[in-house]
């Protein structure tokens, strides 16, 4: 897979990591794609972060190092993939919201039951289904693992920021990052 990110990359704020992941390539489950949309969640002062109301999330942060996968079932329907971040200011999570598919398209199409490439990973639940990410990925150190990891972006990317979506609290924080004008986003960035 070549030059891959290590856990050290995630020893920064969730906001910085979420921004810096735009344009990076994600590899998992025989598939890969370009990360085009993320969201940051902060351990402290963020009512939308799991650590705000879930003791199990706070225990997860205490027990695991930066770069660990945090995977959970959202509303009992969709698995969502996050990566734990830690720096001197605290911990947080980066949610992977959308990916532009680049490899393993047939496998993604089979898993998602659609041939429309633009619909394969245009949302956090869709991308987990397309990549085959489920509960067994939770609490795993995946960076540099066989067939799994993240390759850093190699060129310039136009990044836009806006309010997070799909949450009822903390949506006012401009911690949703996306590749400007990408057709693969979960929703257009306003």
Could you read off the pLDDT of 141-161 as tens digits, one per residue?
999 888 899 999 999 999 999
Could you tell me the domains of the chain?
7-179 (3.10.300.10)
pLDDT higher than 80, residue 135: yes
Q: Give the global pTM.
A: 0.95
Q: What pLDDT does 2 receive?
A: 58
pLDDT higher than 60, residue 5: yes
Q: Predicted confidence band at 76 (pLDDT cuts at 50, 70, 90)?
A: confident
Q: What is the 3-state secondary structure (H, E, C) of 90-129?
A: EEEEEEEEEEEEEECHHHHHHHHCCCCHHHCCCCHHHHHH
Q: What pLDDT does 54 receive?
A: 80
pLDDT higher than 60, residue 179: yes
Q: What pLDDT does 75 receive?
A: 77
């Amino acid at each position: 897979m070549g030059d891959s990110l290590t856990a050290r990359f995630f020893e920064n704020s969730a906001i910085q990591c979420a921004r810096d992941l735009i344009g990076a390539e994600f590899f998992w489950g025989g598939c890969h794609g370009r990360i085009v949309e993320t969201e940051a969640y902060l351990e402290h002062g963020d009512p939308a972060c799991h650590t705000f109301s879930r003791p199990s999330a706070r225990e997860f942060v205490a027990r695991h190092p930066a770069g660990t996968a945090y995977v959970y079932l959202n509303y009992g329907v969709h698995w969502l993939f996050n990566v734990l971040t830690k720096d001197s200011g605290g911990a947080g999570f980066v949610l992977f919201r959308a990916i532009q598919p680049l490899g393993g398209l047939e496998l993604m199409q089979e898993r998602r039951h659609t041939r429309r490439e633009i619909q394969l990973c245009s949302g956090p639940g869709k991308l987990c289904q397309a990549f085959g990410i489920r509960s067994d990925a939770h609490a795993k150190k995946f960076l540099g693992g066989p067939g799994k990891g993240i390759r850093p972006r190699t060129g310039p990317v136009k990044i836009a920021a806006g309010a997070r979506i799909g949450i009822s609290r903390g949506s006012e924080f401009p911690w949703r990052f996306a590749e400007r004008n990408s057709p693969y986003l979960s929703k257009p960035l306003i």
